[in-house]
């Protein structure tokens, strides 16, 4: 047989997809949907101002802090946060500054660490307000009673 005979017999045929190949095709569609979702989120995030982006990053840092007022941030978590900041469009240097400022504020008690901290911060604020009301009420009672005793002493009674 010559090569011409082999060429005439060969033809390309696409076999039907097996169930395994169909599952692989479905798996490939999922990352495309995720890619579209990420692209949409990036488009929406690009409308944020620089200050809003830094605030979002600072809240992520505050959620990542451990140890309450000691505001501990493990090195591997810090590098993850810096990578996140870079993806958000914040320079690594600025990310480290935001992390340092957030840690400092947490150590001074100005920033709550995590979502549970927000709830406890609100409860603390309510406790302070109720404590202030009691102090004002006690001061008024003492002032009125002091005035009454003073008047009674002057009258001689």
CB 90 within 8 A of CB 98: yes
63 and 120, same domain (yes or no): no
Q: Pick 43 or 6 by higher pLDDT.
A: 43
104 and 131, same domain (yes or no): no
81 and 32, same domain (yes or no): yes
80 and 119, same domain (yes or no): no
119 and 107, same domain (yes or no): no
In a domain, 11, yes or no: no
Percent of the chain past pLDDT 90, that is, above it, reads 23
pLDDT over 70 at 112, yes or no: no
101 and 120, same domain (yes or no): no
Percent of the chain past pLDDT 70, that is, above it, reads 66
In a domain, 1, yes or no: no
pLDDT over 70 at 13, yes or no: no
Average pLDDT over residues 95-107: 92
100 and 123, same domain (yes or no): no
| Residues listed for the chain | 157
The pLDDT, as a whole number, for residue 157 is 63
Domain count, the chain: 2
Supply the range of the domain harboring residue 72.
Answer: 26-113
CB 64 within 8 A of CB 99: no
Q: Pick 79 or 137 by higher pLDDT.
A: 79
87 and 39, same domain (yes or no): yes
Distance from C-alpha of 78 to C-alpha of 59, rounded to nearest angstrom? 14
Helix 92-107 to helix 50-64 angle (10° resolution) is 50
User: What CA dihedral angle connects 134, 137, 140 and 143, to 10 degrees?
Assistant: -40
Collect all residues with Cβ–Cβ distance below 8 Å to 117 and sequence separation of at least 6. Answer: 62
95 and 139, same domain (yes or no): no
Q: Pick 79 or 31 by higher pLDDT.
A: 79
In a domain, 59, yes or no: yes
In a domain, 2, yes or no: no
51 and 92, same domain (yes or no): yes
The pLDDT, as a whole number, for residue 118 is 47
In a domain, 19, yes or no: no
93 and 52, same domain (yes or no): yes
What's the pLDDT tens digit per position in 35-45? 788 878 777 76
In a domain, 108, yes or no: yes
77 and 150, same domain (yes or no): no
Average pLDDT, the chain: 77
In a domain, 8, yes or no: no
pLDDT band at 124 (very low <50, low <70, confident <90, very high): low
């Amino acid at each position: 047989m010559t090569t011409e005979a082999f060429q005439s017999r060969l033809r390309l045929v696409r076999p039907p997809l097996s169930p395994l190949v169909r599952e692989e095709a479905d798996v490939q569609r999922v990352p495309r949907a995720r890619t579209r979702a990420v692209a949409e989120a990036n488009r929406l995030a690009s409308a944020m101002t620089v200050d809003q982006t830094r605030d979002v990053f600072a809240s992520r840092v505050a959620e990542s802090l451990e140890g309450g007022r000691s505001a501990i941030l493990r090195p591997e978590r810090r590098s993850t946060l810096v990578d996140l900041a870079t993806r958000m469009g914040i320079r690594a240097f600025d990310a480290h500054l935001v992390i340092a400022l957030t840690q400092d504020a947490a150590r001074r008690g100005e920033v709550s660490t995590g979502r549970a901290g927000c709830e406890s911060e609100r409860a603390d604020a309510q406790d302070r307000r109720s404590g202030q009301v009691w102090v004002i009420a006690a001061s008024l009672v003492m002032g009125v009673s002091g005035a009454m005793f003073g008047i009674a002493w002057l009258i001689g009674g």
